[in-house]
Amino acid sequence: MPNILCNDLCKTYRQGDAVIKALDHVTLEIEPGDFICLSGPSGSGKTTLLNMIGGLDELDRGEISIDGQRVDQLSKGPLADLRLHHIGFVFQAYNLIPVLSARENVEFVMQVQGVPARERRRKSMAILKEVGLDGLEDRRPAQLSGGQQQRVAVARAIVSQPKLVLADEPTANLDSVSATHLMELFRELNQNHGVTFLISTHDERVMRYARRLIRMQDGKVISDEIQKSV
């Protein structure tokens, strides 16, 4: 179970002449089994925070540790391994490999992990069934709806039972029915499998599911509150 500590994170981006403070002294602690929503307007630093925790980007200052392991000090290779085995990513759209079928997309990560073929197949079929895609396993991304694609992405993110799932606006391109289904799926995984979720969103429907809601603005955390059960 991960215990994530973020201490004094700073990150600025340069866009032309403008300097954007994406993270401005952010300090945060995430406990195992948490279900957190990050909300805030565009450019408030949500995505940057997710990227930092996932080790996709480098900090200007501050430190991040997951279970005592300093993520900001890992080199690229071990970071990749960390993501591969312990962190699942879900992005807003276009995040499947277009030439692979739904099942192959799910199997892809397992193959990289070195899971034997038979087990890959069993696991991928099971997880696709769990996310409600049985019968669609052999379709390519282009033959799936936006909601279905996101389910495949979720299946891919959780198939190797990561302790942490980072989701960046997962419902941005979904209709409300699909969005609700996706969030139900997330909650079920959180409650029954103990997966920690950190979801960035500005979708009210999503925030309702959050146990803890963190609001960001201009790279700062402006509020951090535990919500009463939904």
Partner 1 sequence: MTLTLRMAWRNIWRHSRRTWLTATAMIFSNVLLVFMIALQFGSYDMMIDNTLKLFSGHLQVQAEGYQDNPKLRSSIADVRSLAAELRTALPEARVAPRAAGFALVSSEDRTFGIEVVGVEPASEPGVSTIPGMVTAGRYLEEADSAAIVIGAAMARNLKVGTGDELTLLGSGRDGSFAAGIVTVVGTFDSGSSDMDRALAEVPLPWFQDTFAMRGHGNSIAVAVDQLGAVADARAAAATVINDRDDLVVLDWNALHPGLRQAIQADLSSAWFMYGVLIILVGFSVLNTQLMSVLERTREFGVITALGVRPRRLASLVMQETALMALVGMAVGLFLGWLVTLYFHVHGFSYPGMEELAERFNLPGEMYPSITFGTMILGPGVVFLFCLLAAVYPALRLFRLHPVDAMRTV
Q: Least distance (Å) from partner 1 to the CB of residue 89?
A: 5
Q: CB nearer to partner 1: give 2 or 207.
A: 2
Q: CB nearer to partner 1: give 76 or 228.
A: 76
Q: Least distance (Å) from partner 1 to the CB of residue 140?
A: 9
**Which pair of structure tokens corresponds to residue 173?**
């391109």
Q: Least distance (Å) from partner 1 to the CB of residue 81?
A: 7
Which residues contribute to the site for partner 1 (CB under 8 A)? 51, 54, 56-57, 76-77, 80-85, 87, 89, 91, 94-100, 104, 107-109, 111-112, 156
Query: Which residue's structure tokens are 């403008």?
Result: 18
Widest distance between CA atoms in the chain: 54
**Which pair of structure tokens corresponds to residue 44?**
């408030």
Q: CB nearer to partner 1: give 115 or 214.
A: 115
| Pair 125, 135: CB distance under 8 Å | no
Q: Least distance (Å) from partner 1 to the CB of residue 75?
A: 11
Q: What residues contact residue 159 under an 8 Å CB cut-off, 6+ apart?
A: 106, 109, 110, 123, 124, 127
Q: Which of 159, 54, 56 is nearest to 102 (CA)?
A: 159
Q: CB nearer to partner 1: give 82 or 214.
A: 82
| Pair 7, 66: CB distance under 8 Å | no
Q: CB nearer to partner 1: give 207 or 219.
A: 219
| Pair 202, 214: CB distance under 8 Å | no
Q: Least distance (Å) from partner 1 to the CB of residue 191?
A: 25
> Nearest-5° angle of CA 218, CA 221, CA 223?
125
Alpha-carbon distance of 11 to 48, in angstroms, equals: 8
Q: CB nearer to partner 1: give 25 or 86.
A: 86
Strand 35-39 versus strand 18-30 pairing type:
unpaired
Q: Least distance (Å) from partner 1 to the CB of residue 201?
A: 17
